[in-house]
Structure formats: C-alpha cells, structure tokens
Homo-oligomer: A and B are copies of this chain.
C-alpha cells in the first residue's frame, strides 16, 4: 500500500466522458489498496474563457476578483470528479483551497503556497475516502481565493504530496512521459524512464513543456518523487527523482530547444567598471528576464559589446529600456535579433565527464551551424544559433550523443 497524489490536467478532464474515464483510473489505483488524493485542473478551455471575460471587462483587473473568477473552473471539475467516483462506488469528497485550507501568501494571481493543513484529508484517506482537490487555488491571508498562476495545478499536486508525505505524485497529462527531445523533430526520440530534478528543470525551462518549473523546484526541495504519464494510455511514464535513485546514469539525458528567444547586442559600450550593472540594472527594474549573457572586449580595448538574450515577448520592452537609459549607459547602438533559437544539451553526467562541450561544438560545426552565444551550467550547455537551424541542430546532437532509439 502506498499513499499517492494523482494530478489530471485540463485535457484529461475536458469532457464529462473524460472525467468518467479519470474516475475509472482513480478507482483502479484505489482498488489496488492505495491511499489516494487527486488534484484536478479546470476542464480544458474553461480557464481561457474565464480569463477572456476578465480581460474584456478590465484590462487591468483587480487580482482578487480575477482569482475569484478563474478559480471556479477547478471547483467545477473537483465536484464533478467526486460525483463520478461516487457513481463507481468509491468514497470521494471535493476540497477547495479555502476548505483544506491551502494557505498562500497575498500575491493574488501568482500566489505562493505557505502551508497545507492535511490533517482532515489524511484522516479521511485512511478511512478509504479519496480527496479530490481543486488545483491552482488556495486562500490568502485576506481570506480570499488566491490562485497560483498558470500551470499551478502541478504545483498544488506536488505541494500536497510533500505535505502528506506521499510516496509519489503522478502527473497525468496528454504526453506519456519526458523524451530525450521533441519527438516532432526527432522521430527516434526515446522516452526516459527516469530523469533527475535538475535535468527536468533544465528540460522544462528550455522548452520541453511537460511540467511546470515551479512544481519541479518544489518536488526537488521536498524530495517528492514525481511521475509524468499519459491519462489516455495505461503504461508507466517518466519518473522525476533524486540523482541517488538513478543507478545507471546516462551521460546526457536530452536535447532541448527554445524558439522563444531574442538576442540583443549593445554595441560599443564604454568598457568601465560597473557597465554590466548599468546595462542590466534597468532591465531588471523593468522585470525583463535576461538569460544568456556574453561580453567581448573590442579591438581598441576601450569599448565592449554586450550580448544577451531575452524572451521574444520582452524584446521590444528591453530595447525601449536601453534607449531610455542610453545616456547613463553610454553605447553606440543596439542590435536586436528575434530570429534565433537556443539549443541545449542536458545531463547530470556531464559533471564528471570531459569532452561533452567539445562534441557539441564539433557536431554543430560539421553541419555548418554557426554558434552565436554559448552559456554553460553544471549540467547544461546551451548555444544560440540562427532559428532556421533548430531542427538540424537538435537532430545532429541527438544522434551525436547516442540518444537515438534503436530503429
């Protein structure tokens, strides 16, 4: 017997039939003798509809009222799934954020979970009742509904699993696991049986949109074992776990890419102490998230070029901020390029192995792909290339690192 938290996303509960299907899956887990809590998202499309109403009424709407409106979607699913479970003879009860309570901070619309009182839910689980928890929502210090921000249901599930010391948190979604890379680009991409939290974080943040980053961070912090699996097929998914749990660690776990990148080059900044702060301080103040950063000393030694990447949606804002601070920073011009992609090789194995980066650079060179920017972390090497090379680069690297599945 294990204690499990199961989470079902919007497409998995998108219709009454699918909710009934989810109920059958939950029943099977209950019948196997497990203690079960389920976290649900809103039926697919509902949250977008509600957000649309809010935007239509007030572009700058009150976050408390926004939360009251959009949290209703998960409320509906939680009630309906409870009914569907009861209809199958499974004892079940829905729980809204304020009922548990799942306490958050006061940042309405993007609240952080401060604590979850699971005593009553655990008591009922021990008696065989399934707790059906509305994801994405909690209650703030102002005793008003607070939502966790988009994708928050994953975070709800992991936080609940941590609070009730669950043996595993199963995230049911519309993909059957985490792949070595995007199967739409590389036909021979392989589903990973296991991946470490750290790798998963890198995979998620560079575009493999399987799990919300926040939920992975939380899982890592509280050592919650997470499984990503399909709600439409009945087979194991990918386990996201601590490095210790992975016996045969592969060198490289995956190749990720992101097209949501834009490159900005600040040309001929005077090369003096504090110039980085002068450039990036105003960007931070404007909430522009800067990712890769490269600084080159120019020929004459008195000026330097600073290159960095931002999300595509932030490009215009970044340019404006720099223009506004031109006098303070002191530069010749700004070059912006939205036509770039970031390609990353990810694996905790690279910590103890040399030559990982060289293989990446050689492979790209062989294909005639020019590297514009490089950045590295302990478990990741990322390069910026022209967007048109994205698929070619991903495929070449997938093969070079031996990730292709047997044909």
On chain B, the residues within 8 Å of A73 by CB distance are: 72
A86 to B62, Cβ gap below 8 A? yes
Task: Mark out the residues of chain A between 23 and 69 whose CB falls within 8 Å of any chain B CB in the assembled complex.
Answer: 50, 53-54, 56-58, 61-62, 64-69
Q: Which residues of B contact A205 (CB under 8 A)?
A: none
- A16 and B99: CB pair below 8 A? no
Shortest beta-carbon distance, A41 to chain B, in Å? 14
* Interface status of A143 (Cβ within 8 A of chain B): yes
Establish whether residues B69 and A99, one from each chain, have CB atoms under 8 Å apart when the complex forms: no
How far is it, in angstroms, between the C-alpha of A242 and the C-alpha of B176 when the chains are bound? Answer: 67
Residues of B within 8 A of A62 (CB): 82-83, 86
Q: A75-B75, A76-B72, A83-B62 are in contact. Are A57 and B20 (CB under 8 A)?
A: yes
Enumerate A82-136 residues with CB–CB distance to B below 8 Å.
Answer: 82-84, 86-87, 93-94, 96, 98-99
Contact mask A281-325 → B, CB, 8 Å, 1/0? 000000000000000000000000000000000000000000000
A58 — which chain B residues lie within 8 A by C-beta?
A: 83-84, 86-87
A289 to chain B minimum Cβ distance, whole angstroms, is: 28
Interface assignment of A79: CB less than 8 Å from any CB of chain B: yes
Shortest CB distance A395–B (Å): 45
- A108 to chain B minimum Cβ distance, whole angstroms, is 12
* A53 and B76 form a contact (CB under 8 A): yes
Q: A16-B53, A53-B16 are in contact. Are A76 and B69 (CB under 8 A)?
A: yes
Question: CB distance A80 to B94 under 8 Å?
Answer: no
- Contact B72 A84, beta carbon cutoff 8 Å: no
A83 touches B96 (CB 8 A): no
A38 to chain B, nearest CB (A): 13
What's the minimum C-beta distance from A71 to chain B, rounded to whole angstroms? 8
**Could you give, for residues 178-216 of chain A, a 1 whenever the CB lies within 8 Å of some chain B CB and a 0 otherwise?**
000000000000000000000000000000000000000
Are A96 and B68 within 8 A (Cβ)? yes
Is A326 an interface position by the 8 A CB rule? no
**Are A83 and B99 closer than 8 Å at their CB atoms?**
no
**Contact residues in B for A86 (Cβ distance below 8 Å):** 58, 61-62, 65
Closest-CB distance, A302 to chain B (whole angstroms): 53
Q: Are A144 and B76 in contact (CB under 8 A)?
A: no
Tell me, yes or no, whether A78 is within 8 Å of chain B by CB.
yes
Question: CB distance B99 to A57 under 8 Å?
Answer: no
Q: Looking at the assembled complex, report how far the CB atom of A86 sits from the nearest CB atom of chain B, in whole angstroms.
A: 5
C-alpha gap A309/B7 in the complex (Å): 53
Q: Mark A233-272, 1 if CB is under 8 A from B, else 0.
A: 0000000000000000000000000000000000000000
**A6: interface (CB < 8 Å):** no
A19 at the interface (CB under 8 A from B): yes
Q: Is the beta-carbon distance between A65 and B83 smaller than 8 angstroms?
A: yes
Given known contacts A50-B76, A76-B69, A79-B69, is B16 in contact with A57 (CB within 8 Å)?
Answer: yes
Among B16, B56, B68, B80, contact of A16 (Cβ-Cβ < 8 Å): B56
Chain B's closest residue to A94 (CB) is B68
Question: A19 → chain B, closest Cβ, in Å?
Answer: 7
Tell me the minimal C-beta distance from A147 to chain B in angstroms: 12
Q: List, in ascending order, chain B residues with CB within 8 A of A61's CB.
A: 83, 86-87
A77's nearest neighbour on chain B, judged by CB, is B69
- CB <8 Å contact, B57 and A68: no
Distance between Cα atoms of A20 and B71 in the complex (Å): 21
B residues in contact with A72, CB < 8 Å: 72-73, 75-76
**What 10 additional pairs, Cβ within 8 angstroms, besides A66-B79, A68-B78?**
A16-B53, A53-B76, A58-B84, A58-B87, A64-B94, A65-B79, A65-B80, A65-B94, A69-B83, A99-B144
The 3 residue pairs across chains A and B that have the minimum distance between CB atoms = A69-B79, A68-B79, A72-B72
Between-chain CB contacts (< 8 Å), 7 pairs: A54-B80, A57-B87, A58-B84, A64-B93, A65-B80, A67-B79, A69-B80
